[in-house]
Each structure stands twice: as C-alpha cells, then as structure tokens.
Amino acid sequence: MNTLSQKTERLHALDSLRAIMMMLGIVLHSVLTYIGGEPYAAWRIRDPNNFNTGLEWISSIIHVFRMPIFMIVAGFFASLLFYERGAQWMLKNRMSRITYPFLVFVVILFVPVVGGMNFTDNVFNSNPNALSDALSPFKTWIGIIPDRTMHLWFLYYLIMFSLASFALGLIFKKLPKLSGLIHSSFHTIFNNILLRLVVFTLLTVGMLLLMNRNWADTSTSLVPDLNTFYLLLLFLHVWLGLV
C-alpha cells in the first residue's frame, strides 16, 4: 500500500465533471415523468396524457453513464484521502461529509418529496381530493418517519462503500504482498488502452449477466439492493487499486 508524499491540489476539472453530472440529473428526472409506461418505486409519477416514448432514450443514455461517473469520481477522491491521510481519516472525512447530511436531509425532505409525488400522482389521475389524499399518510408521527431514501439513495450507498473501503484497507494493510499485486495489476491494465477497455468491459458485462439485468436498478429502499451495491462498488473501487 503506497502513501503519497504530498497533498494533491484541488482538481477543478473533476469538480466540473461532478457539476455536469448533477445538471444532467435535472434533465434525467425531468423526462422520467413523460416517457410513458408504468410507474416504478423510485419514480411513481407518470403523466398518462402527455408523454413521448422517445424521451426514454434520453433517460436511458444518461442513466447508463451518470452514476458510474459519480462513483468513479467519488472513488478517486476517497482514494486520495485514503493514501494521503490514512484509512481512519478517510472514514472520518466521508462520515462527516456524507453520513451527517444524509441523516439530516432524509428527515427534512421526506414529507415534501413523498407528499409532492403523491399530490402530482393524484392530479394526473384526476383525483378531486388530490391535496388531502397526498397529505393523509403524514397525519401521525409514524407517517413522517422516513421509510425510504428517496433521491438521497446514492448517499446511502456511498456510506456503505466508505465502510467497505475502510474494512478492505485494514485487510490489505495486513496483506502487503496481495496489496502490491493488486496495485501492480491495476497499473498494468491502466497503462494499456486496449487492455483497460477489455478488462473493465468484461467485468461490467459479467456482473450484469450474473445479475440477469440490463443495469443496476436505482434502489430507494432502506434494505440495500445487493446488485446495485456490487456494480457501483466496482466503479468506485477502481482507484483504490491504482493510486
């Protein structure tokens, strides 16, 4: 396990990349309501009167690369912390930057987001009591306790990824030969463009075949979806073997 000799300067290009992916998220979530088809757990709103199935291409194309890029960038910055400051500092930083905001905003946003979706769904279905029915689940204190992660699902998974990375870091620290082998293997792969393309394509396709899915579903459940966890963890951990 290598340690970087000096602190890396802020990489503004990667900050810009994250900002672009966030803006694409606005496009993605805007078209989801108007692609037709049946609602699903992560996005229940479907306009039955105004939709264009062609918009699904926009949704699908953005969805294919957006979250993997987020995870790759997150893995890159986590690995810098891991090798510059150590595993414990990386975990402490990730917990303060991810866990605390998640715990606060999953509570604050639960009623507005779920209530807003309920209201819109009722309006699309011409429910004359759209507002009262949308707010009815929140009349008791139990109803305002979050039972899903909503749009903060990626923070939920990043918390788990940080814990997994910390555990792997401790394991590899006890196994320097294995750590060195992984490190050298990653450098060999990344230094060869063709090898890099083939290896990571096969890894991704292989995992999707084992899952029997076209892609990892967005999971807003408090119970982690293992398929989503394993696939996104692959992209995040690319850098831990390379730096």
Task: With respect to residue 7, please indicate whether it lies within any of the assigned structural domains.
Answer: no
pLDDT value at position 242? 42
| Lowest mean pLDDT segment, chosen from 135-139, 190-194, 195-199, 209-213 | 209-213
| Lowest mean pLDDT segment, chosen from 126-135, 147-156, 212-221 | 212-221
- CA–CA distance, 95 with 173 (Å, rounded to integer): 21
pLDDT value at position 241? 46
Our count of domains for the chain comes to 1
Task: With respect to residue 178, please indicate whether it lies within any of the assigned structural domains.
Answer: yes
- CA–CA distance, 162 with 90 (Å, rounded to integer): 8
pTM: 0.82
Task: With respect to residue 8, please indicate whether it lies within any of the assigned structural domains.
Answer: no
Task: With respect to residue 86, please indicate whether it lies within any of the assigned structural domains.
Answer: yes
CA 213 to mean position of chain CA atoms: 17
Cβ within 8 Å of residue 107, ≥6 positions away = 146
3-state DSSP assignment of residue 220 = coil
Task: With respect to residue 204, please indicate whether it lies within any of the assigned structural domains.
Answer: yes
pLDDT bin (cut points 50, 70, 90) of residue 106 is very high
Task: With respect to residue 6, please indicate whether it lies within any of the assigned structural domains.
Answer: no
Task: Kindly tell me the sign of the dihedral angle through the C-alpha atoms of 9, 13, 18, 19.
Answer: positive
Q: Which domain holds residue 185?
A: 13-241
Task: With respect to residue 2, please indicate whether it lies within any of the assigned structural domains.
Answer: no
